[in-house]
Amino acid sequence: MRRFYLGLAVFLSLGCFTLASTFMEKKTIKQVMKAGFAGDSSLCKKVVTGEATDDEKKAFLDLLIDLVENDAPKGDELQWKTASGKALLAAAKVVSGREGATAELKEATNCKACHDVFKGK
């Protein structure tokens, strides 16, 4: 009987882990770009202009975490981690309310600068 309960506990634990990882799967670069950077009313634009709510700022920060966790589509991997990490750090500063953080985020999220170096096909 003890083995049964132990087996059941292991089975349930693995099931919960699998379910949680399904919902917490990181987004691809394409998904991050679409959710956070696309359009005139994008999360990025709202955060940089100061129009974003606290929840929107946190959602944008979460997207940037996913961005950093992806590999560079092309170009140098270390340069990719540095550039995406700079944007992530700036977004974290915005969320925590640091002075001058929005200007830093605006500079770090220069689309053309990143796309010229890293964007794949």
pTM for the structure as a whole:
0.77
Please check whether residue 55 lies inside any domain of the structure. yes
Report the C-alpha gap between 15 and 21 in whole angstroms.
10
Q: Work out how many domains the chain is built from and give that number.
A: 1
Q: Name the residue with higher pLDDT: 2 or 83.
A: 83
pLDDT tens digits, 31-68 = 999 999 998 899 999 999 999 999 999 999 999 999 99
Please check whether residue 47 lies inside any domain of the structure. yes
Please check whether residue 8 lies inside any domain of the structure. no
Report the C-alpha gap between 75 and 117 in whole angstroms.
6
pLDDT tens digits, 74-114 = 989 999 999 999 999 999 999 999 999 999 999 999 888 88
pLDDT at 18: 45
Which residue range forms the structural domain that includes residue 61? 26-118
Q: Give the mean model confidence (pLDDT) for residues 15-24.
A: 49
